[in-house]
Amino acid sequence: MTKRTLIKHLAALDDGAVAVSGWVDTVRDQKKVQFVVLRDESGAVQLVHPRSEEADEVATAISALAQGSFVTVTGELKHDERVKLGGIEVKIETLDVVGAADPETPIAADSGVDKRMDWRFLDLRRPEANLIFRIQTTLEHAWRSYWVENDFIELHTPKLMASASESKAELFEVEYFDGKAYLAQSPQFFKQMAQPAGFGKIFEVGPAFRADPSFTSRHATEFTSVDAEISWIDSHEDVMRMHEELLVAGFRAVKDKHGAEIEAAFGVEVTVPSTPFPRIPLAEAKRIVAERGYEVPRHDDDMDPEGERQIAAYVKEAFDHEFVFLTDYASSIRPFYHMRHADDAGLTNSYDLIFNGVEISTGAQREHRVDVLIENAKSKGLDPEELDFYLDFFRYGAPSHGGFGMGLSRVLMLLLHLSNIRETTYLFRGPTRLLP
């Protein structure tokens, strides 16, 4: 039996016998000749079958094909520049229907995103969706290569926790034998634990959970978090430097491997960012935004979404850059484990990273002095006794350290200039979605 060939490899072959397998994209069932566009995970090819006046099993099978049916075809590959689809076609000799599809499909090209999410396995057959997850694979591989080449250790931290790492308001509580557990909203405590363990530099790519009843286009209740933590830093500047190097490595790999495909599918030219990324203290960023005619609401000390868009627009105009680090956030809105400024306890050694107008990451230098951690926790209304297991990490010596957490799907969404995180999440989870 002829070995299956991926469609993307057909063009490099000489004319002759081939076997291809995939799903039916379209059928043109004409009187004298039949055409089938077959698609697999690598591309699409035109199949052709001239009708015979005699009994013709292949013609009968083609006439009965429904869009989406999975088939295996053997036949003769022919290069013909007149064929619009890649300049090649396969003349069918045999056609085996491996998995027939129902003739009525539940979604169409113009179906809305929620309808498409109901039938995500069908929606993912779109070439653009396939490309998104090949880009994701390249991006993660490049990041992992950067970490490994720089002597980071990969960890897989538990997702069941006895207590909160940040705020119980955003935790999913689950039954755990005779007690309660919580789904981890980040690997924060455990990646910090690796620092007094002497690991030095660590990373993790894994699931995180936030019980945030948000219905925006950029939030999810379960997401893939990209985290890194490093020892022996002088300030959050060391974390930012590592963070930007990581992103440059990832974007360069994506541009090199998929740049032309991305431009064809999404109309987006991938830009490998220059370093260093612009850095703007939050207070200065708010002044810049105000000068542009937008006042950030003063109900807290954070930057709101419109403020993020405005400062990103400014950075694009002033620096021709898609990224900006907003630094020096107020301690009132940062977790207790963010280190405060040595000369101003009202500010922290922390940052948010804005990409194309949306926050994708929070990073900081961590507080490693246990007495300071206890006081910081109390100031946040937390009970230090509930944090004992975490505070123990710092009672037996710990280096200065810091790190970040970043949302994978959000990075992909903004890289491709898409408007909804559902498009860049394999199976989205939100307040009203647990299926499929």
Q: In tens digits, what is the pLDDT along the chain, a chain of 436 residues?
A: 679 999 999 999 999 999 999 999 999 999 899 999 999 999 999 999 999 878 799 999 999 999 999 999 999 999 999 999 999 999 999 999 999 999 999 999 899 999 999 999 999 999 999 999 999 999 999 999 999 999 999 999 999 998 766 666 689 999 999 999 999 999 999 999 999 999 999 999 999 999 989 889 999 999 999 999 999 999 999 999 999 999 999 999 999 999 999 999 999 999 999 999 999 999 999 999 999 999 998 766 799 999 999 999 999 999 999 999 999 999 999 999 999 999 999 999 999 999 999 999 999 999 999 999 999 999 999 999 989 999 999 999 999 999 999 999 999 999 999 999 999 999 999 999 999 9
Tell me the pLDDT tens digit for each residue of 58-99.
999 999 999 999 999 999 999 999 999 999 999 999 999 999
> Do 44 and 151 belong together in one domain?
no
> Do 344 and 248 belong together in one domain?
yes
> Do 160 and 268 belong together in one domain?
yes
Q: Which residues sit in the known binding site for ATP? A: 359, 407-410
Residue 74: strand, helix, or coil: strand
Range of the domain at 292: 120-424
Q: Which residues sit in the known binding site for L-aspartate? A: 166, 210, 362, 366
The pTM of the full predicted model, rounded to 2 decimals, is 0.95
> Do 169 and 315 belong together in one domain?
yes
Is 208 inside any structural domain?
A: yes
Predicted confidence at residue 162, as pLDDT, reads 86
Q: What is the DSSP code (8-state) at residue 316?
A: H
Omega prior to 187 cis, within 30 of 0: no
Predicted confidence at residue 52, as pLDDT, reads 84
> Do 163 and 42 belong together in one domain?
no
Task: Identify the CATH number of the domain in which residue 280 sits.
Answer: 3.30.930.10
Q: Which residues sit in the known binding site? A: 166, 210, 359, 362, 366, 407-410
> Do 46 and 150 belong together in one domain?
no
> Do 91 and 127 belong together in one domain?
no
Cα–Cα distance for residue pair 187/291, rounded to 1 Å? 38
Is 32 inside any structural domain?
A: yes
> Do 180 and 235 belong together in one domain?
yes
Tell me the pLDDT tens digit for each residue of 37-47.
999 999 999 99
What residues have CB less than 8 Å from 218, skipping those under 6 apart?
358, 410, 413, 420, 421
> Do 144 and 255 belong together in one domain?
yes
Element holding 224 (H helix, E strand) = strand 222-231
> Do 172 and 56 belong together in one domain?
no
**Residue 263 backbone phi and psi in degrees, to 5:** -65, -40
